[in-house]
A and B are shown apart, each in its own frame.
Chain A
Amino acid sequence: MRIGLPSALVAPYYRTLWKTFFAELGHEPVESGATTKTVLDAGVRNAVPEICVPVKIFIGHYLKLVESGVDAVYVPRFVSIREWDTFCPKFLGLPDMIRHAFPEHETKILTHIVRSKSEDIATLANFLPLARKLGAKRFEAVRAIEIARRKWLEFRRLTLQGLTVERANKAVETGVVPEVPSHPIRIGVLGYVYNLYDRAVSLDIVKKIEEQGASVTTFEMIPEKQIEKHITKFYKPSFWTFTNKLLGAGYQLFEDPAIDGIIHVTAFGCGPDSMLGKLLDLDAPSYGKPFMTVRVDEHSGEGHLQTRVEAFVDMIRRKKRLTGEVA
């Protein structure tokens, strides 16, 4: 069976896991690839106008896969990957939204509930129901999950070494681990994987920063323990898993003396981010670190982003030059 994997939402984070799992069960995973103008337009046309860009993009990818004639499209229902946390309501209702928006191909949707206590979602409870839907036996499922899990842990190990999600995915696939870039200026970039690593949304902001001679630290490079430490300090952190990760990562970046400035990349209409951004914004002055919010949507201009990133890095460089840290 050919199973379509929409390259949207949390796909950059879990695609190694999904791909290996489906391949091990003897199916052919088909990825929808990079977000193109056509994909984006199809998403915008078929979604409710107010919804956030990442969900519109997901719908675009979904439609592209259906049109390409795959046998099923994988639309997981991500509920929780940390105790007490859940995903944003849009993730919780995603299969329902797709199912009711396109009743004509309801049978093509392959869905299951993902609920686990840690971000390692490769458990039998999560994936056995999915494997059963595909007609696999229990022992086959156990084997496939274990192999997929090992691949994914390898991916996580690489990100913790300082590779971005994108590079770590490539390294796991090709087996060639690239060098971790290192520059005298280091900028923390906060953003969800589906914003940062989707070129149509972020316009490759990570590469733009690196071109300015600065290296980038993102949340996936910070060990879980350090993120947890900051989350538990809040008597009431947010409800949303990835928002919590960014919240913890944000405070870690604030405290880390190696970080010179922080850029928060957020998508138009993102609800959790409106709260997260305000929290960080209110606290940034007390840590004395430059903090910039970049809001992106389907109309973002490349030149405008380039100018803002350049100005931000230049400002930090000048500051460092005055103190003699950078020549």
Chain B
Amino acid sequence: MKVGYPYMGTVIVYKKLLETLGHDVIETPRPTRQTIALGVKNSPEFACFPYKAIMGSYIELAKMGVEMIVTSGGRGPCRAGLYEQIHRKTLASLGYDIDVVNFDLYKKNWSYAMKNFAKARGNASLFRVFKAFVLVYDMIHALDRMEAIVETRRAYEKIPGSFTKLWNRINKTFDLEVRRLRDARRFEKVFTAELLALPVDEPPEDGRIRIGIVGEIYVVMESAINLNIEEVLNGLGCEVRRDLYLSHWVNDNLLPFLHRGHERQILAKSRKYMEIKIGGHENETIGHIIDYKEKGFDGIVHLMPFSCLPELITQSILPKISKDLDIPVLSLSLDEQTAIANQRTRIEAFVDLLRGRKKTAAAKG
């Protein structure tokens, strides 16, 4: 059976997982303007942006002959949990008979989750499933560790484009050449050394600008959707960190019994502003802003899709947080009508402001 997946973040790991399970995987193309236009055309006007972008990806996949799409589903009272149902109905109304399989109901509807698990598992033995998960788990963590290096050092690269080029090569190598656990570990060592060896022009400690990116998972993780914001910020000479990496998501959502500590710490920080959990990544967003401030970051970029339900609450509270913590926050809301030049201007102005603040602080003290 031909299998596809939605496009978000380091997609090679989804591909690797499905391939190891023995599926015939069709690679999802990176979303383009065309994809988004296709999605917008077939989505409700007020659906959130990730819904539309993913819809576009699915239709492209359908045209390529995919028979089953495996997706994660959403959590909490946010719209992402309903995506798969409406995507499937829309695909059916367009004449494509595609099974959309997801995994977010294991608490509520166990038999349904098991049925989906069986579909995704295909003919693979349970041992193979386990092995596939271990391999992918390791890969995700290795890739995220390396990406963190890229996001820090790319800000000071001497040869423009050298880091992005290497990062693309890393992705390609992991995609094609990693078969076993051993490969992942070996390649991580090699590439980490290579990353650290690329020539950089590091400024002294007080000349560094560190920016934390927080917000809704899809727009934070997918560079094709968020105007390549990490690269743009790096290009302006800022170090960047995100609050969401695929490895964190896996740890917090799929293996919470192993990694409760980290998430709990972050959530505890948000308690002052939000009394209860309200779904999506809203509590994490607030927790991470506080966490970044404590770690000495200079500014926060908050990304959300237009009309995102939980992040709108964050956006309402942001001015207060920014004032309380004395940290500048730039909130960008993204959708299919986002104009690149406009957002770039806002980002450049924001970075200028951070530099100005840093200089004033240095002069004072």
Contact = CB atoms under 8 A, between A and B. Distances in A.
Please determine whether chains A and B interact with each other in the same assembly: yes
Interface of A: 47-48, 50-52, 77, 79, 84, 86-90, 92-93, 95-97, 100-101, 103, 113, 234-236, 238-240, 268-275, 277-279, 281-282
Given A89-B78, A239-B77, A275-B79, A50 B306 contact: yes
Contacts of A77: 275-276
Q: Report, as a range, how many residues of chain B touch the other chain.
A: 35 or more
A273 B274 contact: no
A269 B316 contact: no
17 contacts: A50-B333, A86-B76, A86-B279, A90-B312, A92-B77, A93-B274, A93-B313, A95-B275, A96-B317, A101-B317, A101-B320, A238-B82, A239-B81, A269-B307, A274-B48, A274-B79, A278-B47
A238 B85 CA distance: 10
Given A271-B46, A282-B89, A48 B278 contact: no
B93 interface: yes
Contacts of B109: 235-236
Nearest to B48: A271
B348 to A, nearest CB: 23
B105 interface: yes
Contacts of B333: 50
A86 B93 CA distance: 30
A240 B316 contact: no
Nearest to A281: B44
A254 to B, nearest CB: 15
Contact of B307 (A50, A239, A278): A50
Q: Which residue of A51, A103, A240, A271 has the most chain B CB atoms within 10 A of its CB atom?
A: A271
Nearest to A268: B46
A271 B307 contact: yes
Contacts of A269: 46, 307
A93 B282 CA distance: 10
Contacts of B44: 274-275, 277-278, 281
Contacts of A279: 85-86, 89
A203 B44 CA distance: 24
A88 B309 contact: yes
B10 interface: no
A282 B44 CA distance: 11
A50 B112 contact: no
A113 B276 CA distance: 10
A277 B310 CA distance: 20
B285 to A, nearest CB: 12
Given A89-B77, A282-B93, A271 B275 contact: no
Nearest to A80: B77
B182 interface: no
Contacts of B45: 274
Interface in B37-85: 43-48, 76-79, 81-82, 85
Contacts of A270: 46
Given A235-B109, A236-B81, A89 B279 contact: yes
B78 to A, nearest CB: 7
A272 B51 CA distance: 13
Interface string B267-296: 000000111101110100000000000000
B81 A96 contact: no
A236 B276 contact: no
Nearest to A101: B316
Nearest to B280: A89
B108 interface: yes
B142 to A, nearest CB: 34
Given A271-B46, A272-B79, A89 B309 contact: yes
A251 B81 CA distance: 21
Nearest to B105: A236
Given A97-B313, A274-B47, A89 B86 contact: no
B90 interface: yes
Given A239-B76, A239-B77, A275-B44, A96 B112 contact: no
- Which 8 residue pairs across A and B have the least CB separation, nearest first? A93-B313, A274-B46, A92-B278, A100-B320, A239-B77, A278-B44, A86-B77, A89-B309
B90 A282 contact: yes
Contacts of B82: 236, 238-239, 275
Q: Which residue of B46, B47, B86 has the most chain A CB atoms within 10 A of its CB atom?
A: B46
